[in-house]
Amino acid sequence: MIFEEVVKRAVEETNGGLAAVIMARDGISLSQYLRSEIKMDLETLGIEYAGLLAEIMRASEAMDAGQLKEILLSTDKYQTILRILNPEFFIALIMSPGGNLGKGRFLLRVNAPAILKEL
């Protein structure tokens, strides 16, 4: 299944990758992968991300900035990449602060078309 493959590869092939999830805009996960040693509540994260996306999409519209494609969030504990797949789905990759952000972005971008084909 392409979904499982993509989330696993995004985590395993990105230096610092911790977890990845393909998620519907309503916060329900379609597929997720968590590095075995990591404890993370992906349910809560998904709900928060979905809420953020709704808010950011609304703001983009208000700013006449066009369609949202990608969001990167850096905090003390995590770097997170959110890539919009289509109006209904997005993929998130959560990394450690020192992780390879460029590689993570690349992997999400190049794998998006394969995911989209099956959505």
Structure tokens at 49: 């991300």
**Residues 12-71 within binding reach of a copy of itself (CB under 8 A):** 44-45, 48-49, 51-52, 55-56, 59-60, 62-71
Residue of 38, 73, 114, 116 that binds a copy of itself (CB under 8 A): 73
User: Which is nearer to a copy of itself, 24 or 71 (by Cβ)?
Assistant: 71
Contacts 24+ apart (CB under 8 A), 47-51: 49/23, 49/80, 49/82, 49/90, 49/92, 50/23, 50/24, 50/25, 50/26, 51/27
CA dist 116 and 97 (Å) reads: 28
- Fill in the amino acid letter for 73: L
Is 78 among the residues that bind a copy of itself (CB under 8 A)? Answer: yes
Residue of 36, 37, 39, 76 that binds a copy of itself (CB under 8 A): 76
Q: Which residues bind a copy of itself (CB under 8 A)?
A: 44-45, 48-49, 51-52, 55-56, 59-60, 62-78, 80
